[in-house]
A and B are shown apart, each in its own frame.
Chain A
Amino acid sequence: DVKVTQSSRYLVKRTGEKVFLECVQDMDHENMFWYRQDPGLGLRLIYFSYDVKMKEKGDIPEGYSVSREKKERFSLILESASTNQTSMYLCASSLFDSNQPQHFGDGTRLSIL
């Protein structure tokens, strides 16, 4: 069965820290995505990647960067965490095929104090 694993379910960090959120998929999917989810705003795409070492900005990339050194792993980096980055972060992966769905991890609830 499809599995997308996010490294932490809950994370608490301090303002100004560099924060790493990790995501691993075991399905050999080409595409990987990072979203944040906030009440009333739905899912907003931060970054996505169609291949190793490749990245594309989504709708809200400011304050974030990503890394994809291996096909199965996609990392989201908060360069200098701020309180407005407190949110639920969701990782997803999919095949390079528009008929196939995205598969999501369980999410990381990140609090920046």
Chain B
Amino acid sequence: GDSVTQMEGPVTLSEEAFLTINCTYTATGYPSLFWYVQYPGEGLQLLLKATKADDKGSNKGFEATYRKETTSFHLEKGSVQVSDSAVYFCALSDWGGTGNQFYFGTGTSLTVIP
């Protein structure tokens, strides 16, 4: 079945450091891929998405490229800020037996220190 594996945290970085959070997936069909961010005490917010191979999703300085050959969708940001401290979830959407189904990674906690 489909699944998402993302790098375990927690991750601690200094402000302005480069961020990479790894995400790989297994899918039987042609999934769409997403990154979500969750701030403390809140729900998940969509950060970016990519719907086909070689697509690059980007938002708020974050980027991720849909790599079919390596089944990966790694999240990157060139210079993190304290306000980026949150939990990040990689997810995929694929057609299942009764419609589109979603699969989430376990989340990676990021703390950015000044």
Residues of A within 8 A of B (CB): 4, 30-31, 33, 40-43, 50, 56, 90, 92, 94, 96-107, 109
Contact = CB atoms under 8 A, between A and B. Distances in A.
B44 A99 contact: no
B61 to A, nearest CB: 19
Given A43-B89, A99-B32, 9 more contacts: A30-B99, A31-B99, A33-B102, A42-B104, A50-B99, A98-B31, A101-B32, A104-B45, A106-B42
Contacts of A106: 42-43
A41 B89 CA distance: 12
Among B32, B98, B100, B105: residue with most chain A CB under 10 A:
B100
Interface of B: 29, 31-32, 34, 36, 41-46, 49, 51, 89, 91, 93-95, 98-100, 102, 104-107
B84 to A, nearest CB: 19
Contact of B105 (A33, A42, A96): A42
A101 B99 CA distance: 13
A101 B49 contact: yes
B104 A103 contact: no
B92 to A, nearest CB: 9
Given A106-B43, A107-B42, A96 B99 contact: yes
A92 B94 CA distance: 16
Contacts of B106: 40-42
B102 to A, nearest CB: 6
A65 to B, nearest CB: 18
